Structure 1
Amino acid sequence: MKRKMVAVMAAAVAAAAFGVQPAQAAMQPVAVVKSPAKARAMWLWSQAQPAAVVAWANKQGVKEIFAAVSWQPGKAEVARLQELRARTKAAGIRLSALGGDPSWATNPRDAVAWRQRVSALRLFDGVHLDVEPYLLANWARDQASIASSFLSMFDQVRKAGPEPLEADVPFWLATIKVGTRNLAEEVMARVDAITVMSYRDSGSAVVGVGTDLLARAQAGRKPVRLAAETQPASDCSYCTFAGRSQNALQQQLTAIDAGAAGYSTYQGLAVHDYDSWSKIS
């Protein structure tokens, strides 16, 4: 999804600006272990056929799918989501509604309206927000006020429906100060779990950039997923596993599980996204 890759680039730029550098060769590689991998999750932004999606999820050990739900889904989209729900339920796979736009950070009412429509469908086990305020044009200029509104959005969305709430966050989120705390701590206090966009091109590097939030989450016993990118990223070659073979990718995903295993907060790995991942041979 083009918007998502813009977010990857923005995260890379922001990380550099805050002194967070991509992991280099000096980092010791994480040994690949043969023990069963943690349960996988994956993003599904497209309207791919439910049968193919669930077949792929089963093959890859995916136990949760974040399925995009549009602002106001029509009959065809609802029918597809109903089929996806039926197939995921039969396969023992959780289904979460995926949505978000940078503008929701400053217009929480839009996020609330979306969530209310999602909850009314009664199809989902959870709600997964992908709201990235640092993509807003005025982020650098109005960071404090945007951060405050961003947190208000979580407060309001949490009250708007019964499903557990999870959020995508960049690995450098703790570098943004909010009063005496930081934005990572404030977001984690408002959600049930986070998925860290720890996009790098090796298992050791993914773990390396993800450890800050894994460690911070332990105080609140907040579940954390790390994430791997499989979409091509021409402007950020170290942010993605694109171009690897499926076997090589699986080795790196297993390495991430091994490297993060020491954190009680680690709940597994999410892969972005179905369309790019399923095309890797």
Structure 2
Amino acid sequence: MNDRKQALLNSLQHRRKITVIMVLLISLGILTTTTFMGGGKEEVKATWIWDVEQIQENPEKTISFAKQQNVNLIYVHVSIKDFSPKLYRSFIEEASKQDINVYALGGDPTWALTKNQDSMDKFVSQVKNYNRVVSDEQKFEGIHLDVEPYLLPEWKKNQNEVIEQWMMNTATVVDQAKANTELAVSGDFPFWVHKLNVPGSSQKVSEWMLNKLDSITIMAYRDYTEGTNGIKSIVTPLVNQAHQHNKSVIVGVNVIDTSEGSHTTFHGNKPGQMANELDKLEQQFNDHGGYAGIAIHDYKHWKTNVH
């Protein structure tokens, strides 16, 4: 076991953030969640970058903001149609210098349907092909999926069928991504995913996803931590579930102006409110094995609306 652990650590020397390394080790059974989440752990602080113009115009400025905010993981969008390797090489290399990992972000609700598996395959192949020809400091460390099949009209018509296809596509992506690579695979999920059953089983979809993926990020879009329907309340079932499966979850919050209700976003809130609420969340879950950290959605809006 020690030899296996050392071999893995040696192969991951280019990885800049110890948290991601530990998550991979946990998934291989080399470390336990208790060991990983013990004293002195470095928690994840992530953000999404959907608008790649943000990194094209001034990658140094983007990384500087991320560093100031203690971000150590960025999900950056990769388009199948419009992919510029040069753009990502310079951005990831700059992030690497600041000990920030970068995951290739991709997703569409239709990716939950097997008829669109080819689109997912192209995305994964594009990331893998890119990683083959760049230096270690310019590589994507993982793939992050944002699929959200519940936005599809098919979800209302036949939810179980969509769930089955979603699971099939997820399994295929994981297998493809990990074939001959060290890519981590993670994804975004609604805070109520633990209420969904795997069709024909008592197992929850969240449990299945936790076991299949290296990490999951929960979209816990609320602007307060404590109380009924607060962040702590809605994520606790998943944090506990993750711990039971020797995994951990990242808790995502929103700063985008949205029509879904002011309680779902920190947009427009008083300065310092988001920081205060996230401090409360940290205090609640600091020693919990199922809690990995937070993620802010998204960078473009966060940088103009710092709380």
What is the TM-score with the length of structure 1 in the denominator?
Answer: 0.83
Equivalenced residues, count: 245
Matched, 1:99 2:123: no
Aligned residue in 2 for 1:195:
217
| RMSD of aligned alpha carbons | 1.7
**Is residue 2:147 matched to residue 1:138?**
no
Query: Could you tell me which residue of structure 2 aligns to residue 267 of structure 1?
Result: 292
Q: Please name the residue that 1:222 is paired with.
A: 247
Aligned residue runs from structure 1 range 145-184, under 5 A: 145-161=161-177, 162=181, 163-178=183-198, 179-184=201-206
**1:128 matched residue in structure 2:** 144
- The question of 1:66 aligning with 2:75 is answered yes
Give the partner amino acid of 2:208: E
Q: Which has the higher contact order (CA 8 A, sep 6+)?
A: 1
Q: What stretches of structure 1 of length at least 5 have no aligned partner? A: 1-34
Moved over 4 A (4+): none
Contact 2:248 2:290 in 1 (8 A): yes
CA contact (8 A) 2:241 2:290 kept: no
Three-state SS of the structure 2 residue aligned to 1:267 is strand
Which structure 2 residues correspond to residues 10-29 of structure 1 after superposition, within 5 A? none
Give ranges in structure 2 of 5+ residues lacking alignment: 1-39, 132-138
- Contact 2:256/2:297 (CA < 8 Å) preserved in 1? yes
CA contact (8 A) 2:223 2:274 kept: no
Distance 2:231 2:59 in 1: 29
Partners of 1:246 and 1:80 lie apart in 2 by 33
Is the Cα–Cα contact under 8 Å of residues 44 and 250 in structure 2 kept in the other structure? Answer: no
Cα displacement (A) at 1:160: 1.3
* Aligned residues with identical type, % of pairs: 27
The counterpart of 2:120, out of the listed 100, 111, 125, is: 111
Letter in 1 for 2:247: K
Give the deviation of 1:195 after TM superposition.
Answer: 0.4
User: Aligned equivalents of 1:223 and 1:175: distance in 2?
Assistant: 18
Q: In 2, are the aligned partners of 1:62 and 1:93 still within 8 Å (CA)?
A: yes
Deviation at 1:159, TM superposition (A): 1.4
* Residue equivalent to 2:59: 50
Per-residue deviation, 1:36 = 11
Give the C-alpha shift of residue 246 in structure 1.
4.1
Amino acid at match of 2:48: W
Query: How big is each residue's C-alpha offset from its partner over 1:21-43, in whole Å with a ceiling of 9 and x where there is no partner?
Result: xxxxxxxxxxxxxx999441101
Deviation per residue, 1:38-90 (Å, 9 max, x gap): 4411011112031121011100000000000002333xx32221111110111
Q: 2:46 aligns with which of 26, 38, 41?
A: 41
Structure 1 CA distance, aligned partners of 2:125 and 2:42? 35
